[in-house]
Amino acid sequence: MIRAFLDTSVLFAAAYSETGASREIIRQAIRGGIGLVTSQLVLEEARRNLQAKAPEVLSDLDRLCEAVGFEIVRPTKRDIKVAMQYIVPKDAPIVAAAKRAQVDFLVSLDRRHLVGQPDIAQRSGLKIVLPDELLEEIRQPAGDD
């Protein structure tokens, strides 16, 4: 089973909109088609951002998180310090948590700092993808690498 770490932007989008790839990833996880991982920091940041920008969907975030049953990973201070050598400090805890979880993918909507940044992908050893790219991977028959 594919395991993916979701960052704040994906959780925000999944709670904010009933359509789109972010919400579809959650649906896939509820069906058992994918294992989802995140960190306490991501959950707190998603709640904070929704509270500020769309408080009416906070309950949707809670409902989705409960339905998925995320695996919660906690990076060490050392993990974060290592990640800070090659990524902006605000994203170091995200990359560090995804690495610690040994996921197949780190899923983000952050094109500025994460997605499409080959140096970060190489140095972290993570496949960093957009939600729709993860869905393509999920839908690929086994062995079609």
Residue 105 inside a domain? The answer is yes
Residue 121 inside a domain? The answer is yes
Cα gap 82→29, rounded to integer Å? 30
Of 38, 27, 31, nearest in space to 3 by CA:
38
The CA–CA distances, whole Å, from 33 to 26, 97, 134 equal 10, 22, 12
Q: Report the predicted TM-score, pTM, of the whole model to 2 decimal places.
A: 0.94
Residue 67 inside a domain? The answer is yes
Residue 76 inside a domain? The answer is yes
Residue 9 inside a domain? The answer is yes
One digit per residue, the tens of pLDDT, for the chain of length 145 reads 999 999 999 999 999 999 999 999 999 999 998 999 999 999 999 999 999 999 999 999 999 999 999 999 999 999 999 999 999 999 999 999 999 999 999 999 999 999 999 999 999 999 999 999 999 998 876 555 5
Domain that holds residue 81: 3-139
Residue 56 inside a domain? The answer is yes
- The count of structural domains within the chain is 1
Residue 144 inside a domain? The answer is no
Query: In the Cβ-directed half-sphere of 36, how many Cα atoms lie within 13 Å?
Result: 31
Q: Coil, helix or strand for 31? A: coil
Cα gap 106→139, rounded to integer Å? 17
Cα gap 113→106, rounded to integer Å? 13
SS (H, E, C) 49-110: HHHHHCHHHHHHHHHHHHHHCCEECCCCHHHHHHHCCCCCHHHHHHHHHHHHHCCCEEECCC
In this structure, what CATH number is given to the domain that contains residue 87?
Answer: 3.40.50.1010
Residue 145 inside a domain? The answer is no
Query: In the Cβ-directed half-sphere of 139, how many Cα atoms lie within 13 Å?
Result: 9
- CA 121 to chain centroid, in Å, comes to 14
